[in-house]
Copies of this chain bind each other. A is one copy, B any other.
Amino acid sequence: MQTPWEYRYAHRMQKMGSSVIRELLKLTQQPDIISFGGGLPAPEVFPLKEFREACNFVLDNFGAQALQYGTTEGYAPLREMIARHTGRYSVSVKPENILITSGSQQALDFIGRVFINRGDYIVVESPTYLGALQAWNAYGAQYISVPMDENGMIVDELEKALRIGPKFIYVLPNFQNPSGSTLSLERRQRIVELADKYGVPIVEDDPYGQLRYEGEHLPSLVYLDSQFRGDDGTYTGNVIYLSTFSKILAPGIRLAWVVAPEQVIKKLVNTKQAADLHTATFNQIVAYEVGKGGFLDEHVKIIRATYKERRDVMLETMEEIWPAGTSWTKPQGGMFLWGMLPKGMDTAEILKLAIDKKVAFVPGFAFHANGGGHNTMRLNFSYSSPEVIREGSTRLGLLLRELVKANGNHN
């Protein structure tokens, strides 16, 4: 006999079922597999000592406040610190332009809740971040996929998409998850201009911006937008900007932030109040204490050095072993690169063979809002040690040699 619950799920649940990709990822969780499938930071770079010191300092000095309910907007000194940090790297904002969220996933969810009506179109890169699709599917979003190359979203295609009347443009400009591509400065400027021309705002998701291993830092879209409209210090522009402590401090504390015009922050605050009251007070005060003296600026250099070495090892092994007909991106930062196989090959099928060889990745189709990408894959290079990356990438490369050869004979 079924329980009444079963007949009572809301119609929107149809969009939320367990996905093919989740089933595939379960396969990769066997203990002896080298997985390039996850998206985990390296635990070796978590600043345990500083975090521990901050926990003790906070409990000694702010004990009761740190364990009490807090404001929905977030801990005021943390919002001020982020406002200062944002001003240093891009656009001048006030704490009123900042909302603290429980990870960027929550910000994506709130953006869906505040802006997406069932059937609305959202412009996304193709491929794009899977978590954003999961968040917005729940609100009945549809997607317009704009193709990318190694310089990010192809802007002429974007203009066509904007004529369809989307709700907003979602873009990950730096070392994109999943492709590893970085949006060029020229395209950033064009996107800001096009967004203004068509009156379509932008959600800029930037978890990895500080994890650049080579080349020059490029200005954020929120900065270019404020320049474009000549803002006088109060940001009232066209961009909602997201970033996070997950990649520069630690993901297990679930701490991220939104930068947006004050009116948008107010709507997001109302949403957050109904959704979880506020982000954990203790975590916010500890992150503030870890970050306030400039420690994270130094710490991120260690993260960069660690991940750069890992990226380089993965790229070297691919160069050595991966067969002709395959190609891949060379990310200037971040945690992922994107492998491309000859047309007609199917990475979802290949994953099963790779798991037999004890190596795993995420098939690229999962990152495509409207299909495609069956010959692509996402590879993470932040989590495993250089030795493990070399071993896993070699295993995968040798498998691909066999398969590409067979595919060539077959065609």
**Chain A interface residues (CB < 8 Å from chain B):** 3-6, 8-13, 16-18, 39-41, 43-44, 46, 48, 51-52, 55-56, 59-60, 63-70, 102-103, 105-106, 109, 113-117, 131, 134-135, 137-139, 167-168, 199-201, 236-238, 240, 250-254, 260-261, 263-264, 266-267, 270-271, 273-283
Contact = CB atoms under 8 A, between A and B. Distances in A.
A109 B5 contact: no
A67 B43 contact: yes
Nearest to A108: B274
Nearest to A6: B263
Nearest to A139: B10
A262 to B, nearest CB: 10
Contacts of A48: 59, 63-64, 67
12 contacts: A3-B263, A4-B199, A10-B115, A10-B139, A13-B114, A13-B267, A40-B69, A46-B68, A52-B59, A102-B102, A252-B282, A253-B281
A67 B253 contact: yes
A276 B134 CA distance: 11
Given A68-B41, A114-B10, A280 B277 contact: no
> Which DSSP category, helix, strand, loop or mixed, fits chain A's interface?
helix
A67 B201 contact: no
A270 B39 CA distance: 19
Q: Which 6 A-B pairs have the closest CB atoms?
A: A43-B64, A252-B281, A67-B250, A67-B252, A106-B276, A254-B280
A16 B267 contact: yes
Given A59-B51, A238-B4, A281-B252, A103 B16 contact: no
- Stoichiometry, copies per complex: 2
Given A252-B281, A274-B16, A10 B117 contact: yes
A137 B113 CA distance: 13
B237 A276 contact: no
A65 B138 CA distance: 30
A201 B6 CA distance: 10
Contact of A201 (B4, B43, B115, B236): B4
A46 B18 contact: no
Nearest to A200: B4
A277 to B, nearest CB: 5
Contacts of A55: 52, 55-56, 59
A102 B254 CA distance: 10
Contact of A69 (B117, B237, B252, B282): B252
Contacts of A9: 114-115, 267
A113 B134 contact: no
Contacts of A68: 40-41, 43, 46, 250-252
Contacts of A10: 113-117, 139
B102 A168 contact: no
A131 B272 CA distance: 12
Contacts of A277: 103, 105, 131, 254
A17 to B, nearest CB: 7
Contacts of A114: 9-10, 13
A117 B7 CA distance: 12
A65 B66 CA distance: 22
A2 to B, nearest CB: 9
Given A117-B10, A282-B283, A270 B109 contact: no
Contacts of A138: 113, 271, 274
A48 B44 CA distance: 29
B59 A5 contact: no
A138 to B, nearest CB: 5
Contacts of A199: 4
Contacts of A250: 67-68, 282
A201 B3 contact: yes
Given A48-B59, A280-B280, 9 more contacts: A5-B201, A10-B114, A11-B117, A16-B270, A16-B271, A40-B69, A67-B250, A68-B252, A131-B277
